[in-house]
Amino acid sequence: MIQNKNTMTTNPSYSRKRRFVIAVTGASGIIYAHRILEVLAPVAEIHLIISETASLIARDEGITLKNPEIITHENQNLAAPVASGSFLHDGMVIIPCSCKTLAAVTSGISSTLITRSADVTLKERRPCILLLRENPLSRVHLHNMIEAHDAGATIMMANPPFYHHPQTIADLIDAVIARVLDHLGVDHTLSTRWSGFDA
Ligand SMILES: Cc1cc2nc3c(=O)[nH]c(=O)nc-3n(C[C@H](O)[C@H](O)[C@H](O)COP(=O)(O)O)c2cc1C
C-alpha cells in the first residue's frame, strides 16, 4: 500500500536550509577551502570531508579547517549520509581538488567518502565542482578533466583573474571563490564583476 502520497508538499526537506558538501583534497591551496567554508557556513548547512593528505597539507600551509559549526565526516566513513543519493543536497565542491581525486572521480572509483560523494552527486545530476590546482597539466590530467566534464562536473582551476586589480592575497582568493559561488547559485559580493574597460 502506498502511503503519504502528498509528501511532495509536506516533506520538510523541500523547504530546508541550503546544504552543500565541501571536500578538501591533497593539493596546495587549502586556503581556498578555508575561505569557502567561512563564506558558506553562516548561510548553509555544510558537510565537510577532508582527505588524509589534505590534512597534512593544511597543517603545512598553516590552515585550520575544522569548525564546530560545520558537520565533518571522516573520509573513510562510507556509511555517512553524504554517501547516499537519498541525502538531498544542493551541490558538492572539491576544493582544492588533486589530480589523483580527479582521476578517481573520472573513473568512478568510490573507495573514500569524498570520491563516493562525488560519484553520487554526478549520478543525481547535482552541481559537482572540482577546483583543480596543478601546473603544468599532463595529457592524463587533461583527459581526465574532459571525462569529468562530460560526466557532469564543472571543472575550475585555482587561477584568479586580475581585472579587479587585486591588492592582497585575499582579493585573489575571493575572485576564485566568487566564481565557485556563482556556480553553486549562492549570492555574494566577494569580488567585482567585469563591466567593461571604462566602468
Ligand atoms: C605538499 C604537497 C603538495 C601537493 N600539491 C598538489 C597539488 O597542488 N596538486 C595535485 O594534484 N597534487 C598535489 N599533491 C599530491 C597529492 O597530495 C597526492 O596525489 C595525493 O595522493 C592526493 O590524495 P587525495 O586526493 O586523496 O587527497 C601534493 C602533495 C603534497 C605532499
Model confidence pLDDT, tens digit, residues 66-122: 888 899 999 999 999 999 999 999 999 999 999 999 999 999 999 999 999 999 999
Residue 197 located in a structural domain = no
Mean confidence (pLDDT) of the chain: 93
Q: What is the mean pLDDT of residues 13-26?
A: 88
Residue 44 located in a structural domain = yes
Residue 102 located in a structural domain = yes
Residue 195 located in a structural domain = no
What pLDDT is recorded for position 151? 98
Residue 4 located in a structural domain = no
pLDDT at 15 over 90: no
Q: Is the dihedral of CA 160, 186, 67, 27 positive or negative?
A: negative
Q: Provide the percentage of residues in the chain whose pLDDT is more than 70.
A: 92
- Cα–ligand 1 centroid distance for 16 (angstroms): 35
- Cα–ligand 1 centroid distance for 78 (angstroms): 22
Query: How far lies 147's CA from each of 85, 152, 170, 192, in Å?
Result: 21, 9, 32, 32
Q: Does pTM surpass 0.85?
A: yes
Name the residue of 100, 111, 115 whose CB sits within 8 Å of the most ligand 1 atoms, as the mutation to test its pocket. Answer: 100
Residue 190 located in a structural domain = no
User: What is the CATH classification number for the domain harbouring 92?
Assistant: 3.40.50.1950
Can you read off the three cell numbers belonging to residue 24?
578538501
Count how many domains the chain has: 1
Residue 3 located in a structural domain = no
pLDDT at 13 over 70: no
CA-based nearest residue to 113, from 89, 80, 85: 80
Q: d(Cα 58, Cα 120) in Å, to the nearest integer? A: 26
Answer whether 144 contacts ligand 1 (Cβ < 6 A). Answer: no
The domain of 96 spans 16-184
Residue 59 located in a structural domain = yes
Answer whether 55 contacts ligand 1 (Cβ < 6 A). Answer: no
